[in-house]
Structure 1
Amino acid sequence: MTDSGFSALGLGPQIESTLARLGLTTPTPVQLEAIPLLRDNHDLIASAPTGTGKTAAFLLPSLVRLSEAPKSRSIGPRIMVLTPTRELAQQVAQAAKSFSGGMSRVKTVCVTGGESYREQNRLLAAPHEILVATPGRLMDQMQSGHLDFSRLEVLILDEADRMLDMGFSEDVLAIAAKLPEDRQTVCFTATLSRSIQDLSHRLQREPKIIEVKAQVSNVDAIDQKVVYVDNFGHKRRLLSHWLADEACGQAVIFTGTKRDAEALAEALDAEGHAAVALHGDLQQRQRTRMLNQLRRGDARILVATDVAARGIDVPAITHVFNFDLPRFAEDYVHRIGRTGRAGASGVAVSFVGREDIGVLRRIERFIGRRVAIDQVEGMEAHFDPNERRGGGRPFEARRGGYGDRRPQGSFSGRREEGGFSARRPEGDRKPYGDRSSERPAFADRKPFGDRPAFGDRKPFADRTASPERSATSGRGTFSDRPAFGERKSFGDRKPFADRKAPGFGAHREGLSAERSGGESRGFGERKSFGDRKGFGEGRPSGFNSDRPRRKFEA
């Protein structure tokens, strides 16, 4: 038996020898706690941050199980690991192959999106013991009937919190429903949230819970800085300044969207930095090529989104830049964990604008400490982080704020007579009933019951119109008009062409007579459009100049 720290965990000489060959001699805290529980066949929820050796914590006891004979004969997997991203799935699959290197008849298959269905179908059709997959592609393979779970013994959910954040909860439950009920279910997560506990109630049986408190110390090992920025251009200048520093080796820059990742990588590459973008829209072969470029040192800068960056393990990364702050505080820990790995030091720089102050405060509450403020000489931000959103002075320093309110009664200080300060004190005012008014008091008005009822009022036709209205309109009152039944029908009325223009008032008739040089003509006496002269005919030359014009008087 190899004299290593793993010997006390009972993994067996074959696995211990492989670990020694890989340079793994001392188990991490999460491995010390999780491996014995998993060896005893307990369901488990393990909360541990990234970079603490959790992959080996769930793979090593699973390999011990594979050294025993299966319960049933089949070609399907005995161990299945679900991960949220393709990169993490590939990383877990590679670790499984490395740890099982000294074992016979242990084959690992990785099923993720972006790969050929044909090749995956060929691999799944052959006997295999370990299956590492992402939920989406696994659901596709299940629906096509290419999977056999009859001998599955262990289901492992890696980065379970991230799978829930990405909306895979329904897929995970659907997959679990197709698995044997007597399986062992293991859940590894960076945060022990309420959603994780709810998922556990639906999938696990009396799980053991362990929580490794290495998260804060892991964060403390990284030099974290906050740099305030005014706008996008200011942020870009600061990023170029930091990247030009000789102390900055390889770096990962996090953006909020895939489009921003592409645009920023192209801009940095144009500036002379060897930059590549990593996001969810890339094909798997493109992702693998870019990660290999980063590992070989061919690329110095990786611009990535949160989802795509899960599983990136490059020891040479010295700096992490939060070009855009993450939506969730947990993602901040995952991001900065890309640096300072394997005991190395690292630097994490977060650019914070006015609209990011609230997000920064949530991150600080999550990690349990304030992040140090840094600034570059000559490139300081102009906004004050203590200002209210929208600009201006802090609330306490404003007029009317908590520290500068005027005595009650002056209100704004700009009202003179008649303002609030000029009003009489409350006790000197007259009671409401004693105040005088030009309008009769409410009590002197006639009660509503003394007014004539609606049915006693005169009919509308008997009312007389006001003299002013009759004189203005030239019309009689409603009572002078014939009743509706006595009016002439449309057939008895004169045709429209025979009517004269008594029209719309006397001024209309006079105006018509003035224009025609005499008596106003009815519509029937006027010439039709076809009989009139053309626009330019019949008018003397200089018509407009000879025509007397009216003068506008002020």
Structure 2
Amino acid sequence: MSFENLNLHPLILKAVIDSGYTTPTPVQAQAIPELIAGHDIMASAQTGTGKTAAFMLPALHRLATPSKVHSRGPRVLVLTPTRELALQVSEAAAKYGKHLPRVRVVSILGGMPYPLQNKLLSQPVDILVATPGRLIDHIQRGRIDFSRLEMLVLDEADRMLDMGFIDDVERIAAATPATRQTLLFSATLDGAIDKVAARLLKSPKRIQIATQQARLDNIEQRLHYVDDISHKNRLLDHLLRDITLKQAIVFTATKRDADMLADNLSAQGHEAAALHGDMNQRDRTRTLTKLRHGGLRVLVATDVAARGIDVSGITHVINFDLPKFAEDYVHRIGRTGRAGASGIAVSFASGKDGVNLKKIERFTGQRIDSHVIPGLEPRFKPRPATGGARGTPSVAHKRNRTWANDNGQGTNTNNTNGNWNNSRSRSFSDNRGNTAGNTRSQPFGNSGAPSPYFRSK
């Protein structure tokens, strides 16, 4: 099937062809005809398979016909969980609607100044892309008229559910006309999403393109066991010096971790920058633009970057810290291997990550094989390695463990080094000589010299 068979407006089809696309992806081939026919849909497909175009092309097709309602309010509303995803959707609308006359796209996001947003909303809007919290603010102030809204799109609905936005989403939906067409797109569809869909959609068509396992086939997954933060840093530096690595996203658990690790990598000579929710919108946009244009080789990010970043040059994703939820693992590694390309996903795991690792493997239906880099072997390996040095024993020695009680006190067993304290207060210095005090429990023994990067909670 080609895009010519989807009965899109000729000016939209021209923009698609200008972008270099001739054949729709499976989710586009199934969703676009249903949407043009006016059906509500709930669709699931892997990241990087064109979900944004799957709803934006029919939305623009609808806009090619003038509205009969006289209002300056939007005809299409797209809700996204993150600012990055909202900007990606806005860019897609501008790209595919560039030949249509007078299609105005406006983004309403947290982090943007209110006076600028008020000015944007004072003029006629065709497509409004927004994050739920900021949109609620403008609705409460009476700045948005939904009287001519024809289409409501919930992009990454599962993420909005995870982030606690569903109440806001339902409140926004209640402010829109009951005659609207509603689209729910997500990388995963589960029981919770079904309940949301039942409340917001009318007899939706269900589209599910790929199983969880199938969607990861083009991504090589590797696992490296680590002893401590210092070991993680050495492994990461080694991986980033691989000449086959074009661009990488390194995921950390916290915002502070992202800042400190990015600073540490920059001091080691890597082109690195951080991205997280505490950054203002201007800095976030500047960092992403630099990444897309190839001026940034390593992006160190929290899960704010797990969705909404579509950069074809990302060859590697590195989980410096494993995510808390198995679903987030899929979204993280989905930043590579996009649009049919291959990618590499590397995860670091310590002894305390065993349960989390099993949840990820159970969710994906795939075992993540462990690898060993000669000279950077861990002191313990809970299961045999399948890559790296051959002949390495499956267990180097007994693993150190910390069992913590409710007060945070620990009892250490099997301590082969004999020099470990349950709670040790240290000062960790970065490469620039700055020093910060931090108290941390080390579950894998004393690694020697203090790490240039410390864990913040």
TM range (shorter): 0.7 to 0.9
Match of 2:186 among 175, 189, 194: 189
Match of 2:196 among 196, 199, 206: 199
1:51 aligns with 48
Query: Shift of the alpha carbon at 1:219?
Result: 1.2
Query: Shift of the alpha carbon at 1:70?
Result: 1.3
Partners in 2 of 1:61 and 1:34 — Cα distance? Answer: 9
TM alignment of 1:439-454, pairs within 5 A? none
Query: Shift of the alpha carbon at 1:309?
Result: 4.1
Task: Indicate the SS of the match to 1:330.
Answer: helix
Contact 1:278–1:309 (8 Å) recurs in 2 = no
Partners in 1 of 2:290 and 2:62 — Cα distance? Answer: 36
1:94 aligns with 91
2:238 aligns with 241
2:120 aligns with 123
2:247 aligns with 250
Task: Indicate the SS of the match to 1:213.
Answer: coil
For 1:262, give the aligned amino acid. Answer: D
* Higher relative contact order, structure no. (Cα contacts within 8 Å, ≥ 6 residues apart): 2
Contact 2:72–2:145 (8 Å) recurs in 1 = yes
Query: Shift of the alpha carbon at 1:297?
Result: 2.4
Contact 2:16–2:96 (8 Å) recurs in 1 = yes
Match of 1:269 among 266, 271, 293: 266
Query: Shift of the alpha carbon at 1:390?
Result: 6.2
Gaps of 5+ in 2: 384-394, 403-457
Partners in 1 of 2:271 and 2:110 — Cα distance? Answer: 27
Partners in 2 of 1:158 and 1:262 — Cα distance? Answer: 28
Count the aligned residue pairs: 389
2:365 aligns with 368
Partners in 1 of 2:167 and 2:145 — Cα distance? Answer: 20
Match of 1:286 among 268, 283, 286: 283
Partners in 2 of 1:247 and 1:153 — Cα distance? Answer: 47
Indicate the structure (1 or 2) with the bigger Cα radius of gyration.
1
Match of 1:219 among 216, 219, 231: 216
Task: Indicate the SS of the match to 2:46.
Answer: coil
Partners in 1 of 2:37 and 2:93 — Cα distance? Answer: 21
1:12 aligns with 9
Task: Indicate the SS of the match to 1:320.
Answer: strand
C-alpha distance 389-69 of structure 1, shift in aligned 2 (>3 A): farther
Query: Shift of the alpha carbon at 1:345?
Result: 2.3
By percentage of residues, which structure has more strand?
A: 2
The CA deviation string for residues 89-128 of structure 1, in whole angstroms up to 9 with x for no partner, is 0010010011111111211111101112111111111111
Gaps of 5+ in 1: 393-554
Task: Indicate the SS of the match to 1:321.
Answer: strand
Partners in 2 of 1:221 and 1:214 — Cα distance? Answer: 13
Partners in 2 of 1:61 and 1:342 — Cα distance? Answer: 20
For 1:58, give the aligned amino acid. Answer: F
2:158 aligns with 161
Partners in 2 of 1:7 and 1:295 — Cα distance? Answer: 30
C-alpha distance 307-377 of structure 1, shift in aligned 2 (>3 A): same
Query: Shift of the alpha carbon at 1:214?
Result: 6.1
Match of 2:303 among 306, 310, 313: 306
Task: Indicate the SS of the match to 2:222.
Answer: strand
Match of 1:82 among 79, 82, 101: 79
Task: Indicate the SS of the match to 1:225.
Answer: strand
For 1:62, give the aligned amino acid. Answer: A
Partners in 2 of 1:79 and 1:347 — Cα distance? Answer: 37
2:141 aligns with 144
The CA deviation string for residues 47-93 of structure 1, in whole angstroms up to 9 with x for no partner, is 11211101010111111111123131111001000000001000100
The CA deviation string for residues 204-234 of structure 1, in whole angstroms up to 9 with x for no partner, is 1111111011653441111110011111111
Task: Indicate the SS of the match to 2:224.
Answer: strand
For 2:160, give the aligned amino acid. Answer: M
Matching of residue 347 in structure 1 with residue 335 in structure 2: no
Partners in 2 of 1:197 and 1:359 — Cα distance? Answer: 26
2:386 aligns with none
Query: Shift of the alpha carbon at 1:136?
Result: 0.8
1:112 aligns with 109
Q: CA RMSD in A?
A: 1.7
C-alpha distance 343-49 of structure 1, shift in aligned 2 (>3 A): closer
For 2:338, give the aligned amino acid. Answer: R
**Greater Cα offset, 308-317 or 177-186:** 308-317
C-alpha distance 144-389 of structure 1, shift in aligned 2 (>3 A): farther
Partners in 2 of 1:22 and 1:195 — Cα distance? Answer: 36
The CA deviation string for residues 506-534 of structure 1, in whole angstroms up to 9 with x for no partner, is xxxxxxxxxxxxxxxxxxxxxxxxxxxxx
Matching of residue 331 in structure 1 with residue 328 in structure 2: yes
Contact 1:31–1:53 (8 Å) recurs in 2 = yes
Query: Shift of the alpha carbon at 1:12?
Result: 2.3
Task: Indicate the SS of the match to 1:76.
Answer: coil
Query: Shift of the alpha carbon at 1:316?
Result: 1.4
Contact 1:355–1:389 (8 Å) recurs in 2 = no
Partners in 2 of 1:98 and 1:254 — Cα distance? Answer: 30
For 2:164, give the aligned amino acid. Answer: G
1:377 aligns with 374
Contact 2:225–2:381 (8 Å) recurs in 1 = no
Contact 1:152–1:183 (8 Å) recurs in 2 = yes
Partners in 2 of 1:111 and 1:243 — Cα distance? Answer: 36
The CA deviation string for residues 377-427 of structure 1, in whole angstroms up to 9 with x for no partner, is 1221122425998659xxxxxxxxxxxxxxxxxxxxxxxxxxxxxxxxxxx
2:32 aligns with 35
For 2:327, give the aligned amino acid. Answer: E
Q: If the length of structure 2 is used for normalisation, what is the TM-score?
A: 0.82
Partners in 2 of 1:120 and 1:21 — Cα distance? Answer: 31
Partners in 2 of 1:373 and 1:358 — Cα distance? Answer: 16
The CA deviation string for residues 344-403 of structure 1, in whole angstroms up to 9 with x for no partner, is 3221110011111111111111111111211111221122425998659xxxxxxxxxxx
By percentage of residues, which structure has more helix?
A: 1
For 2:368, give the aligned amino acid. Answer: V
